[in-house]
Amino acid sequence: MLKVVLADDEKKILLLLQKLIDWERLGYEIVGTANDGLRALELVRELHPDLLITDVRMPGCSGIELIQQAKELQPDLHFIIISGYRQFEYAQNALKYGVEDYLLKPLKKEELTGILMRLSDKLGEEAALEFQLKRSKERQQDLLMESLGNAAEHQQPFLAYADEGFYAAEGVCFAAVVRVDLVGAIPNPEGYQVILRSALEIVRRELLSLTDVFAASIRKEGVAVVLRMSAYRTVAMKQCFTKIQKEIEQQRDLFGNLRCTICLGSRQTDFMETVLSMRQAMWFCQDRLCHPQSWRDAETEQPEFRQRYMMEAAQKKRFQVAAECLDATRFAQELEQSFQIVMSQSGLNGQMFEDWFDQVLAACLYGMQQDGQAAEGFAIRMRNRFWLCPDAKSVFQVLKQDISRELQRLGEERSLREMRPITEAKRYIQQHYQESLRLEDVSSAVGFNATYFSTLFKKETGQNFLDYLTELRISKAKELLCGETLSVQDVAETVGYSDLKYFSRLFKKATGVSPSDYKKLYK
């Protein structure tokens, strides 16, 4: 929908404009109305309409003044003016300022419809070209921020996909991260992207008050920014980022309890040195997990890059063993203990806490791989979940819930894996119970050595192999003894016993009566 603002000092004219045609059918939406020029200018500033329809004479400021000032605010804004016959010469003067068309009073439906249809076609073409240009600029910004972020994070070469303005000989440049957290909850990735896209639009809009040489893009840390100012203006910079922070947090009614952290890197004169500035901003973003603050600035505090965390080898081993045994309870106990240890570290910072997260995850993945394989992409999803967390406690909960769930899944998978040969063994016994069947025959048929198979069979069925085979044979014998044709001797041989006395002893032990008495009972 193309957004429209209507401005006229006569309420009847405004009402007539709204009712005269079906705006929605033509692809337009009336987003605001104004009774004077100053209010119309405010609506242009707030709503960024595509089209302004205004009378040429209004209180506050005239239509001509309104068009001039609105053009300064929004150069691509289109105008239609409304004029009476006595004002026609005045209206013609307005055409010099790029007014799209004009309407003469009294207003006619056909005229307005025709103008809007022509303008809609033109705006469609302009919008398509503008969109392509915008996407091209945004893609350049994405490439620049990706290279800058990777250089800062992984000590890689900085391949600067930057406009010439960034390399100016004078002025100052710096990087920043605008971090948005949903306090008290871990958002789903899709929902968080919606929040970040909204924050990105706010950042890009407000940075224009500082400079037109900037790039902003969404990264895992939040909205990453790099900019150059011809001269560093402390007050203006503070006001700009404070406004960004407030506008993001004002969306709490829509998204929940949002917290915005501004992380500023050091100011540099050489654009290539913004790698350090970005690294500092990213460090502050990590550190909010342990020290939540609304504003961090490398000009007033220095990140402690050299402070890292290394888990004790014995603790890593305990995580590995718990994961290898697929013991979620034991893992949860080890995690609770380890969390208390890391949180009690002197001078704990966010980078150290991320080290702890990575080492817990790596130890558990190593243990899981000894008895199976974690789901494809599990480690990547865990890293992504880490960056959704607003604080250290949330990181702990992610580790506990997600790794426990994966251990449970692997345990179920192992049970199925172990049950499969037992199921095959039962099927083989059902088919061959009449033969002289040995444990070695069955274990060989399902591909296991006899000793391991015997242990596994007892674990999964609750019976050893011989008891299971005997129970099956006696059950089959009971069915055959109820018939009229077979003798006890025939039944014994049919179910796999050539020794009648041995068969009779087993049958009586299982049923409490001899085979011949059982046969008499069911004649």
Rounded distance between C-alpha atoms, residue 78 and residue 364, angstroms: 61
Domain ranges, residue 225: 145-297
Q: What is the pLDDT of residue 134?
A: 65
Q: What is the CATH number of the domain that holds 47?
A: 3.40.50.2300
Please check whether residue 266 lies inside any domain of the structure: yes
E strands, 362-452, are none
**How buried is residue 305: exposed, middle or buried, by Cβ count under 10 Å (0-12/13-18/19+)?**
exposed
Q: Helix, strand, coil proportions of the chain in percent (round to 5)?
A: 60, 10, 30
Last residue of a domain, one of 265, 297, 329: 297
Q: What is the pLDDT of residue 229?
A: 93
Q: Is 118 within the bounds of a domain?
A: no
Predicted model pTM: 0.64
Close Cβ partners of 237 (under 8 Å, ≥ 6 residues apart) = 210, 229
| CA–CA distance, 170 with 229 (Å, rounded to integer) | 9
pLDDT of 458: 87
Based on the fold, state whether residues 151 and 283 are members of the same structural domain.
Answer: yes
- For residues 151 and 94, membership in a common domain is answered with no
> What does the angle CA 160 – CA 166 – CA 167 come to, to the nearest 5 degrees?
90
Q: Per the domain annotation, does 192 fall within a domain?
A: yes
Is residue 212, in this structure, part of any structural domain at all?
yes
- Based on the domain organization, do 175 and 273 belong to the same domain? yes
Residues 287, 178 within the same domain:
yes
Task: Supply the DSSP string of 316-330, one letter for each residue.
Answer: HHHHHHHHHTT-HHH
Tell me if 11 is assigned to some domain. Answer: yes
Q: Which tokens go with 205?
A: 């809009």
Q: Is the same domain home to 149 and 287?
A: yes
| Number of separate domains in the chain | 4
Same domain, 151 and 252: yes
Other C-beta atoms lying within 10 Å of the C-beta of residue 236: 14
Residues 151 and 292 in one domain: yes
- Give the distance, in angstroms, between the CA of residue 449 and the centroid of all CA atoms in the same chain: 47
Domain end (from 89, 107, 125)? 107
Cis peptide leading into 303, omega within 30 of 0? no
Average pLDDT by stretches of 10, the chain with 523 residues: 89 89 88 90 91 83 80 86 62 58 78 82 65 72 89 83 81 96 84 87 91 93 95 93 93 81 95 94 96 95 94 94 92 96 95 97 90 78 94 96 92 78 86 89 87 85 89 89 85 90 90 88 71
Same domain assignment for residues 396 and 443: no
Q: What is the full DSSP assignment across 31-58?
A: EEEESSHHHHHHHHHHH--SEEEEES--
CA 423 vs CA 434, 460, 462, 495: distances in Å: 19, 10, 14, 21
**113, part of any domain:** no
Length of the chain: 523
| Pairing assessment for the beta strands 258-264 and 172-182 based on DSSP bridges | antiparallel
Boundary of a domain, candidates 297, 332, 367 = 297
d(CA 74, CA 31): 16
Residue 120: inside a domain: no
CATH number of 280's domain: 3.30.70.270
Contact 258, 195 (CB under 8 A): yes
Q: Which helix (DSSP H) or strand (DSSP E) does residue 264 occupy?
A: strand 258-264
Half-sphere exposure of 31 (CA within 13 A, CB side): 19
* 450 and 358 in a common domain: no
Asked if the structure places residue 264 within a domain, the reply is: yes
CA distance 338 to 317: 12
Q: Are residues 427 and 393 part of one domain? A: no
CATH code where residue 517 lies: 1.10.10.60
Q: Looking at the structure, tell me whether residues 283 and 329 fall in a common domain.
A: no
Element (H, E) at 30: strand 28-34
Do residue 426 and residue 400 come from a single domain?
A: no
